[in-house]
């Protein structure tokens, strides 16, 4: 297929965001589905390029984008941005662009890790016809297995992120496989991780403003060899979406004939495409009315 179109989104506060639009392949059967890809924390949109190209080849209109301060979305006052900005402004801008430019399509979303935690932070939750959550979890440290995994997360939220962010002015990305985080993002993320409610307001109360509007089918995936999103943490997130029609799958690499999957493996360009097709088939079946 042809290369994606590089476009610029404008968030409600005027922030410019770099994005890629993958038009449905001309030879693919028309689906009438537009797919928004919400990235994991600090992961640039280029990471999802192979998957997005494949989805477009299947007939989806696909939009990936960089959160402010990540990838090519580095213009403007990104140092002051927060994780809430990524959700309330950036993800909302992506959905608005798809609705405007593909008005006849049903809107689907894939949320990878953080990208699946935020579906209820804008009224756009009501617009999704289907949602696929890939290793999306509640980040509270108590959801990790007892012992070193739980202690590591406790130290990450309470010590490492606050200390390193204040020391370097940004949070180094090597700790979680992404790019450096703007300080406001890193410090808010650490505060959430210390809270039993995880995504929470400044007073510490749970922040779920539009979560009940998500009434679409939702498929949540987790992977047995993923230390960043253990099964219990992924299970805990599902309570954020009380009205969604939830299907849950916990997958071991051997189930797919693979040596490993981890937190990022699903979107790696070496992933056998039959697994992508299985998930895209689910999205299409869940989002489209029965014929």
pLDDT in tens, 172-207: 877 777 799 999 999 999 999 999 999 999 999 999
Beta-bridge partner residues of 63: 21, 36
Q: What mean pLDDT comes out for the span 202-219?
A: 96
The pLDDT score that the predictor gives to residue 78 is: 76
Counting every residue written for the chain, the total comes to: 291
* SS3 call for 55: helix
- β-strands 5-10, 16-22 pairing: antiparallel
pLDDT in tens, 90-103: 999 999 999 999 99
The pLDDT score that the predictor gives to residue 290 is: 64
Q: What mean pLDDT comes out for the span 261-283?
A: 97
Pick left, alpha or beta for residue 169 (phi over 0 → left; psi -120 to 50 → alpha; otherwise beta): left
Poorest-confidence range of 79-83, 89-93, 189-193, 276-280?
Answer: 79-83
CATH 3.40.50.1820 fits 5-139+213-287, yes or no: yes
Backbone angles phi, psi at 107, to 5 degrees: -95, 125
Question: Which among 203, 205, 204, 167 is positioned nearest to 186, based on CA atoms?
Answer: 167
8 A C-beta contact, residue 116 and residue 199? no
CA distances from 113 to 7, 164, 169 (A): 24, 22, 24
The pLDDT score that the predictor gives to residue 291 is: 52
The pLDDT score that the predictor gives to residue 173 is: 79
pLDDT in tens, 121-170: 999 999 999 999 999 999 999 999 999 999 999 999 999 999 999 999 89
What's the pTM value of the predicted model, to 2 decimals?
0.96
């Amino acid at each position: 297929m042809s290369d994606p179109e590089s476009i610029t989104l404008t968030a409600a506060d005027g922030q410019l965001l770099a994005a890629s639009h993958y038009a449905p392949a001309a030879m693919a059967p028309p689906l009438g589905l537009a797919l928004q890809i919400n990235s994991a924390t600090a992961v640039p949109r280029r990471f999802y390029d192979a998957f997005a190209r494949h989805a477009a080849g299947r007939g989806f209109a696909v939009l990936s984008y960089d959160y402010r301060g990540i990838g090519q979305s580095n213009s403007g006052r990104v140092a002051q941005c927060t994780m809430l900005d990524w959700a309330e402004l950036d993800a909302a801008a992506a959905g608005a662009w798809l609705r405007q430019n593909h008005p006849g399509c049903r809107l689907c979303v894939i949320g990878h890790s953080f990208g699946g935690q935020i579906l209820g932070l804008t009224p756009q939750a009501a617009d999704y016809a289907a949602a696929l959550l890939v290793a999306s979890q509640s980040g509270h440290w108590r959801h990790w297995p007892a012992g070193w995994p739980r202690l590591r997360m406790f130290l990450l939220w309470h010590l490492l992120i606050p200390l390193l962010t204040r020391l370097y002015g940004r949070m180094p990305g090597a700790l979680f496989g992404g790019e450096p985080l703007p300080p406001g993002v890193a410090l808010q993320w650490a505060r959430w991780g210390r809270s039993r409610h995880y995504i929470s307001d400044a007073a510490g109360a749970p922040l779920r403003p539009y979560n009940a509007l998500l009434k679409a089918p939702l498929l949540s995936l987790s992977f047995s060899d993923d230390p960043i999103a253990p099964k219990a943490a992924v299970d805990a997130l599902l309570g954020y979406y009380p009205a969604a029609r939830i299907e849950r799958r916990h997958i071991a690499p051997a189930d797919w004939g693979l040596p490993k999957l981890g937190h990022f493996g699903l979107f790696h360009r070496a992933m056998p495409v039959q697994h992508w097709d299985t998930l895209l088939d689910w999205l299409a079946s869940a989002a489209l009315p029965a014929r």
